[in-house]
Structure 1
């Protein structure tokens, strides 16, 4: 197998709905996202001959995704009252609403799926909330 790895980071806040501990409160992280691509065979022709994919394209796609979340409040859909969301938006807060609980595990899958949708042969995505703790997602083979 051949593979590539790149990473990007973003700053964002979140909280965990129905969690009983510190993380039920609004808090932020310097999130670090590490993505891995993997193929059995390298490309055979064109400008990307003997490559997994163009590294520039891979880096750009991951950075575009992390930019979407950078300096946003990541909110689980339905976790805040509509008037709370309206107030936050009126005050100019940048919200990123997702249809899942805002755990690192779910964000790893979100990044994985988004890279796969862009046609990249993604093998695994790691999402770090702290320098020492990460969640990852990969599909079973």
Structure 2
């Protein structure tokens, strides 16, 4: 059976600051992010299924990504909760601003890893997340590929034979 990749692009506006950074990005600023989400699967072959021929309905993929990423991050400011930015975050929240506190430095690299985990948890079992591309500016982006990730083994380590 043929494996097919499909991609949907999303856009959202998000602010952030990189605590401890040695450049301009230590200041609170924002980006018009573009997120390309690519999933892989086998098109539905059941002719009686209303989604016959689809890997996943683009509307279903949109619902997942909007609820997990876009609706939360759009027009929010992201701070690492383990930095002094927490004081600024509390002040903004007290003024009814949308603030997201994360346990990582909110770089594109770390955000794309976070987004991958959030999306993977919501996909149907027969659909895999293939890749994400998070574009921060017109010329800068971070990519996540499932094939680059170390496999997770839930097995306990076995002692060497003979011991």
**TM-score, normalising length: structure 1:** 0.89
* SS of the residue 1:140 aligns to: helix
1: distance between equivalents of 2:117 and 2:83?
Answer: 23
Q: Where does residue 42 of structure 1 map in the other structure?
A: 43
Q: CA RMSD in A?
A: 1.7
Measured after TM superposition, the shift of residue 67 of structure 1 is 1.5
CA 1:2/1:63 → structure 2, altered by over 3 Å: closer, same or farther? same
Structure 1, unmatched stretches of 5+, are none
Structure 1 residues 1-141: aligned runs within 5 Å: 1-39=3-41, 41-45=42-46, 46-64=49-67, 65-80=69-84, 82-119=86-123, 120-140=127-147
Measured after TM superposition, the shift of residue 88 of structure 1 is 2.0
Contact 2:80 2:86 in 1 (8 A): no
How many residues are aligned here?
140
1: distance between equivalents of 2:136 and 2:86?
Answer: 28
* SS of the residue 2:34 aligns to: strand
Contact 2:81 2:102 in 1 (8 A): yes
Structure 2, unmatched stretches of 5+, are 149-163
Structure showing greater Rg: 2
Structure 1 ranges of 4+ moved more than 4 A = none
